[in-house]
Amino acid sequence: MGDAAEPTARGLGAAQYGAPSRLDTQTVMNMSWPLGNADQGWHARGIPDRPGIPVEVRIVWSRDGEEWHSGRATRWTERHVYVPICDDRLVGPGVWVLATDVRRDDLPKPDHGIPAT
């Protein structure tokens, strides 16, 4: 018997508090910005958008743990990659992570020699 004010699986009940808010968001624990410093702030200004490359990005959420998301890398440096993703837990349009947290998803899949029937 659910009461409209009961908490949902992800935070406080929307019926009681209206539209989803930042109460449902989580920190991306492996977020890593490519430029800046702790004194002046972290940013990615000046890194150009590029044609997207299909990738899978590893995201470590503060409560839900590790997940892999499909997306398209649209900005990168030698060490960092930006992948736009749409997820209610995320504040903002995407994530900057280290390149080691991204794998290309457009490479040919290995042939295991088992014919499809």
Q: In the predicted model, is pLDDT for residue 1 greater than 80?
A: no
Q: Quick one: tokens of 23? A: 């109460």
Provide φ and ψ at 2, rounded to 5°: -85, 135
Q: How far is CA 116 from CA 73, 84, 108, 112, 113, in A?
A: 32, 35, 17, 11, 9
User: In the predicted model, what is the mean pLDDT of residues 30-40?
Assistant: 90
Domain range summary for the chain, segments of one domain joined by +: 28-104
The pLDDT tens digits of the residues spanning 42-73 come to 889 999 999 999 999 999 999 999 999 999 99
Q: Percent of the chain having pLDDT more than 70? A: 72
* Confidence grade of residue 31 (pLDDT, cut at 50, 70, 90): very high
pTM of the model: 0.72
